[in-house]
Chains A and B, each alone.
Chain A
Amino acid sequence: MANVVHVFRREFAGYFITPVAYVFIVLFLALAAALTFYVGHFFERGRADLQSFFQWHPWIYLFFLPAISMRLWAEERKTGTIELFLTLPVSTAAAVAGKFLAAWAFAGVALALTFPIWLTVNYLGAPDNGVITASYIGSFLLAGAYLAIGSCLSALTRNQVIAFVLTVTVCFLFNVLGAGLLEPVLGDAVPADLLETLASFSLLGHFNNIVKGVIDLRDIVYYALAIGVWLAAAAITVDLKKAG
């Protein structure tokens, strides 16, 4: 178990060795702000909440988080360090968990640095800070689910570009399941029950529930399960690759 901490530390510190992490964070913050103010019409809406900020998160994450997760395993495979790493006394589960937690913590840092917008909305009016807290938690959970998907798909390949494209695609599909985009396409071909079941798997649907300010146990369980299942798949993928 202690090895999860060591892996986490090495990976997390790794993000900040190169300037890429800082560039990444600045781009993330700039894009989040631009979408909130120019596209989301934060001021024009005249309401003291952060709806126009959080509504973009699933779509910003769609491109930013796969860029974090793509290197998790693909890079180790490409450079061969995976051979060194996995012959250290570390279980596959601990290796997968340590790497994932480091990526998640890095996403958490980026998310935490959006705090000025929280201060701004409090300065301008009297928002419901409970809703905002819930939204931050929801956003962080959503990021975890994306990164867990990314971990698994990164373990499939030694090519980071492939890992990135696969992750964006899969995350996009999980998003649109609940966004009402499927119904017009599938139409009557699929029974309504199935559509509803599919929609219940939607990352976006559960995120929207939480952003409304209601932290329902079902939504938390959904994210915990999504992260758990994808990380288990990542561990299985890493082990299967050994059988080569």
Chain B
Amino acid sequence: MLSLVAARGLTKRFDAHVAVDRVDLEVGAGEVLGFLGPNGAGKSTTMKMIAGFLTPTEGQAAICGHDVIDEPLQARRNLGYLPEGAPLYGDMTAGAFLDFVAAMRDLSGRRGRTAVGLAVERTDLAEVLAQPIDTLSKGFKRRVGLAQALLHDPPVLILDEPTDGLDPNQKHEMRALIREIRPSKAIVISTHILEEVDAVCTRAAVIAGGRLLADATPADLASWSPLHNAVSLTLGAQFADAAAASLAALDRVEAVHREQAGPDIVRLVALSRDGRPILTDVGLLVQAHGWEAGDLRTETGALDDVFRRMTQPGEEGRRDG
């Protein structure tokens, strides 16, 4: 697959501080890369370098094969970029601002009007075009920022926290929009909302302390959770001790956690030893002993659990996908 976005050994040092440390990324058409990381992990710095706004200390970035430093204009023509916080010229009206961006993108006359019209329709901005951007709500501002990034229908979109500040409906629309335009584009979005990764991303990259810790599909990433394919069941408290012991005795069960799930009800979670499904083993055991089990199910492993373990110092270290 042809990479529309390629970063190799991207490094940014501010004096002694290493903000981004040898990050490699490739994103092809049809892919949506979710860029995850705690605040200050280097997400935005990486995106600024790929967008050509910051010069990397070391390494290269290219958009559609054009190096962002050596061929900046060609690279930028192929890029739609929404910077962090969606900064906009607040004293302009939304319409005048989009016209300005269209002109800068060499979209003049009818082509310009068509492009602005389409972007306005996609981001649902028609009602606020005549208003100064400063007077718009946060959600509208974010959508103006997205409209200017989409205006010239670029093959590459880099969106730094596109859904930040949007209400749930708007978030939903934003994700629908990203899914709609996905097939022909390479899209990189940064976020710290993990459900968003499940919702729109085909791949997830985790960055912390400036280093890329993982680059995998959201499902793969989730499977690294110790809870992946774990089985949880709820039981009456009188069976809990016996059940926990029997479960722990199973070959393919690594460990059993128990917690109080209600008055006289205990939840047991059996962790899979090798990450393979163990529902059948547990099910047979339950049947054999005739325990009254409510809510027997397989856990898939939560992305945020993996994310926390990866990005918190002292937890599990580097893992490549």
Contact = CB atoms under 8 A, between A and B. Distances in A.
Interface of A: 2-3, 6-7, 9-10, 13-14, 17-18, 79-81, 83-84, 86-91, 242-244
Nearest to A13: B96
B48 A84 contact: no
Contacts of B52: 87
A81 B87 contact: yes
B91 A14 contact: yes
A186 to B, nearest CB: 38
B148 interface: yes
A84 B14 CA distance: 22
A89 to B, nearest CB: 4
B55 A242 contact: yes
B152 to A, nearest CB: 9
Interface string B135-160: 00000000001001000000000000
Interface stretch (B21-29, B103-111, B264-272): B103-111
Interface string B85-125: 10111111000100011011110000000000000000000
B104 A83 contact: no
B48 A83 contact: yes
A89 B104 contact: yes
A9 B83 CA distance: 23
B91 to A, nearest CB: 5
Q: Which of A84, A91, A243, A244 has the most CB of B within 10 A?
A: A84
B77 A89 contact: yes
A242 B53 contact: yes
A81 B89 contact: yes
A86 B54 CA distance: 10
Given A10-B100, A89-B105, A84 B87 contact: yes
A80 B85 contact: yes
Contacts of B48: 83
Listed from nearest, the 5 A-B pairs whose CB atoms lie closest are A80-B87, A83-B83, A6-B103, A243-B55, A89-B76
Counting chain B residues whose Cβ lies within 8 A of the other chain, the interface size class is 20 to 34
A88 B53 contact: no
B89 A6 contact: no
Contacts of B89: 10, 14, 81
A90 B104 contact: yes
A83 B76 CA distance: 12
Nearest to A90: B104
Nearest to A91: B73
Given A10-B100, A87-B83, A242-B55, A79 B105 contact: no
A185 B123 CA distance: 64
B207 interface: no
B14 A244 contact: yes
Given A17-B91, A89-B76, A91-B73, A83 B100 contact: no
Given A2-B106, A81-B87, A88-B101, A244 B55 contact: yes
Contacts, number: 70
Contacts of B88: 81, 84
Given A84-B148, A86-B53, A89-B77, A79 B101 contact: no
Contacts of B222: none
Interface in B18-76: 48, 51-55, 72-73, 76
Nearest to A92: B72
B79 interface: yes
Nearest to B68: A87
B307 interface: no
Contacts of B106: 2, 89
A2 B51 CA distance: 22
Contact of A88 (B54, B76, B90, B145): B76
A87 B61 CA distance: 14
A43 to B, nearest CB: 42
Contacts of A87: 51-53, 76, 79, 81, 83
Contacts of B145: 84
B105 A17 contact: no
Q: Which of B77, B101, B103, B106 has the most CB of A within 10 A?
A: B103
A209 B34 CA distance: 64
Contacts of A14: 89, 91-92
Contact of A6 (B12, B79, B87, B100): B100
A6 B53 contact: no
A17 B92 contact: yes
B167 to A, nearest CB: 23
Contacts of B101: 88
A6 B102 CA distance: 10
17 contacts: A6-B100, A17-B92, A80-B84, A80-B87, A81-B88, A81-B89, A83-B48, A83-B84, A83-B87, A84-B83, A86-B53, A87-B53, A87-B81, A87-B83, A88-B104, A244-B12, A244-B54
Contacts of B87: 79-81, 83-84
A50 B81 CA distance: 53
Contacts of B72: 91
Nearest to B44: A83
A89 B53 contact: no
